[in-house]
Structure formats: C-alpha cells, structure tokens
Structure 1
Amino acid sequence: MALTRDFKATIVERVERDPDFAKALLDEAATLFLNGEAETARLILRDLVNATVGFEQLARESARPSKSLHRMLSRAGNPSMDNLAVIFSVITRRLGVSLEVRDVEAHA
C-alpha cells in the first residue's frame, strides 16, 4: 500500500500544531541515544530539526556547516559528542525545554 502523504510533511505539520509532540520527539531521541540506539535517534533528531529550526538556521546557531549537520544526522552519520551537545542545545532552546536524566526504576 502506498503512502498518501509525505511522512516528513506530516511530522512538520504535527510539530507546528502540537508543541508537546516536538518535546516527545526530543525526549525519544535523547532516550534512544542514551540506550545505544544511535541510528534511530539520529533520524528522529533529523526530523525534529526539519520541523523546528531547520538545517540552515541550525548551521548558523551551531557554527557548523549545514551539509555537515545533514551528514551527522543521516542514517550512517557519526556526530561527535560535542556536535550532539550543540544540536541538542539549539533544539532545547528553540522548544523552551531542558533535558533531565532520571532513573526510571527509582521513580517507579
């Protein structure tokens, strides 16, 4: 069965009308990185960048070339921790949130 809508466009529209969805994507990307699922985390983060700040603005705010950022957040990307920190910093500022790591078992 063929998709009738472009997935990326759907993500952008959902983020625009539901800020909590954008925050959930950010949370999921961070959780996936911390749990060793870097490939999926990069792809979610790429969709979030496209839906919020955009790669050109991310490049300006992070002082990194847009092309490099695209490569970092691709399926085969390999961003350094410094680059990830900058990307997360720009996104969290844009969304007006902060990230906090909690032990789920301790809060259960």
Structure 2
Amino acid sequence: MSVQVDMSTGADWRELAVCRSIGPEPFDTPDNMSSSALKAHYDRARVFCESCPVQYECLASALNEEEGVPRDERQGVRGGFGPRARYNQGPFLLERVVASR
C-alpha cells in the first residue's frame, strides 16, 4: 500500500524535521541492547517526533520505503514509531498521528 505525502509547501519535508538538528543516533537501533533498554531508547526518540511538524510525512515515507520489508529488517524510530509498530500497524499509525494534532 502506497501512502501519499503532502508536499504542497514545495519544501522537502526533511528540511523541516526536528531530527535534523539532533542527528541520527537517538533514532537508530543500537546493537546488543536488551528489549527494555531498547524500549527506553525508542521512547526518548519519540519525544522529538511528537513535537516534529513533519511527523506524518516522515512516517508516510517510512511506510512507503518499508513496504514488503520483513519486520526484522526494519530499523529505528521513524515518524514516532519503532519498527515493530510500523510493521504490525502500518497505515493505521498515520491516523493516530493526524488524530493527535
């Protein structure tokens, strides 16, 4: 399923992303981390995503790029959600982002 990303502003949504000023580390999936430590790591990243003006576009982009990709090959937090949530809930997450605004 392909998701449409609104680019009516004319700008690349990545230019407006909060994570641009932070760097990729908080959003990556670190190696050799326990599941509870990984959840805490992702929770810290989600705080940035929740305040990001392009959270929807980021999540839509992730879902488009990951279409057909197995869950264990997805990495990091994108659009406020980890790989498991993106795999299991996909486009329903977009509705959650819209509802939270």
TM-score (norm 2): 0.36
Q: If each structure's helix is expressed as a fraction of its own residues, which one has the higher value?
A: 1
Larger radius of gyration: 1
If the length of structure 1 is used for normalisation, what is the TM-score?
0.34
